[in-house]
Amino acid sequence: MKIEILGTGCPKCKKMYDNVIEVLKKSGKNADVVKVEDIMKITEYGVMMTPALVVDGVVKSSGKLLSHEQIHDLLN
């Protein structure tokens, strides 16, 4: 599984990354987690608001910081 956190480096984007890492550790799942801060790459996904969560190339959420529970639900 490849997970991308799209954002320009704002505090919410950093927190989203941390939340994803915590959920993966707690669930025992393995994934490649990448931060994408390049605005051109972010717009290629059609994302206009960050942070955004992309799982295996599919945008699952954008424009809000997800809770641990929300992330867990999206990854299952």
Return the active site residues: 10, 13
In what side-by-side order are the strands of the sheet with 58-62? 32-36, 2-6, 52-55, 58-62
C-beta separation of 20 from 5 below 8 A:
yes
